[in-house]
Amino acid sequence: MSNVTRRREEVFRLIGSCADRPGIVAKVACYIAARGANIIEAGQHQDHESGVFFMRYEVMLAEGDSEEKFRAGFIAVAEELGMEWWLSSALRKKRVAVMVSRHGHCLADLLHRWKFGDLPCDIVCVISNHTSLRELVEWNGVVFHHVPVPTDTPGRECAFQQISRLLEEADVDVVVLARYMQILPGWFCEKWPNRIINIHHSFLPSFVGANPYRQAAERGVKLVGATCHYVTAVLDGGPIIEQDVVRVRHNDCFTDIVRLGKDVEKSVLSRGLLYHLEDRVVVHRNKTILFY
C-alpha cells in the first residue's frame, strides 16, 4: 500500500476531482500514456450524492520527462475536465512541524518512526508550550521552540501569532498536533486548511473536548479509541482521517485506560500522518476519501 520503501525517483502522485461523467479516466490515462509514463497505483472514487469524481494516480515518468513538463501538459487536460488537482513528487519530502504540550508519547513515537525510516518526511521543528520535551527533541537533532501560551486572550493571540511566524519561517507543509492541549484560534485553523492534523484521544464523536479518557471511564465503555483528524474551527469536528480502538475491562483503572489508549493514539496518529504524507487523503464535505 505505502511506498515508503519503493524507489521514488520519478514517482509522482496526481490527485484530482471533478464532476463525474463518462470518459474522465480515459482522458487522464491517455495523457499519462502519451507521455510514456506508467501508472503504478490507481485509485478512484465517486461520491454518488454530490456527483463528484475523485482520483489518485501514482505514475512513473518516462526517462527524459520531468515534473515541470508533465504538469504543464496536464493543465489543458484538467481544464477540459473542470478538474481541481495537484501533483506531488514522492521524492520531495513534506516538511512537518510537531506541536506538543507535556505528553511525550506521540512525539517520541513520531521521532522514532522518522529516524527508522518509516515516516517519509522532514520533521523541521517541534513547538511546545512547555520545556519538558526539549531534551528528547534536540537529541534527535530537531529544532525546539518554546512558546508559552498565556491564559489571557491577548497573550494567547500573541503566542499563536508567534507560532504562525515560526511555521512560516520553517516553510512547513503539515502541522501535527501530537497531544497539544491548547485550542487553536479560528484564523490559525483556516490558515492551513486540511494541513493541521490532530490526534484526539477518543473515538469521535464520542467524548468531544477535555478529558476524554475520564469521560470514557465514567460512561463505562468497553472500548476506548483515538481519532486522527484535520483541524477546523469546530472543536474536534474536522474530517476524520483514521480511528481505532482498544478493549478495556472493568478492572482497568483510569491509569490503565490512559496507558492502553496511548498505544492507540500513537498508531492512529502515525497511520493518519503517513496517509497524508503520501497524498492519500482527499477531503470532501467534512469527510475524507482515503486512497490506500
Question: Does the protein bind a second copy through residue 122 (CB under 8 A)?
Answer: no
Q: Which is nearer to a second copy, 32 or 100 (CB)?
A: 32
Residue 244 annotated among the catalytic residues of the structure = no
Task: Return the half-sphere exposure (C-beta side, CA atoms, 13 A cut-off) of residue 260.
Answer: 21
Q: Which is nearer to a second copy, 25 or 210 (CB)?
A: 25
Q: Which is nearer to a second copy, 79 or 250 (CB)?
A: 250
Tell me which of 109, 173, 236, 279 is the catalytic residue: 236
Q: Which residue in 8, 85, 108, 157 binds a second copy (CB under 8 A)?
A: 108
By CB under 8 A, the count of residues binding a second copy is 73
Burial 97-111 (b: 16+ CB within 10 A, else e): bbbbbebbbbbbbbb
Residues from 43 through 82 that contact a second copy (CB under 8 A): 43-46, 48, 62
Place of cell 527524459: 64
For a second copy, the binding residue among 27, 71, 156, 191 (CB under 8 A) is: 27
Question: Binder to a second copy among 8, 20, 93, 164 (CB under 8 A)?
Answer: 20
**Smallest distance from the beta carbon of 71 to a second copy, in angstroms?**
18
Which 201-240 residues touch a second copy, going by CB under 8 A? 203-207, 219-223, 225, 239-240
Shortest distance in whole angstroms from residue 166 CB to a second copy:
26
- Residue from 10, 173, 236, 242 that binds a second copy (CB under 8 A)? 242
Cα–Cα distance, 213 to 4 (Å, whole number): 33
Distance CA 157, CA 159 (A): 5
Integer angstrom CA distances of residue 77 from 16, 24, 26, 82, 108: 11, 10, 11, 9, 44
Closer residue to a second copy (CB): 165 or 222: 222
Q: How far is the CB of 282 from a second copy (least distance, A)?
A: 9
When the beta carbons of 36 and 186 are compared against a second copy, the nearer one is 36
| Residue selected from 10, 14, 17, 22 as contacting a second copy according to rule CB under 8 A | 22
User: Which residues are known catalytic residues?
Assistant: 236
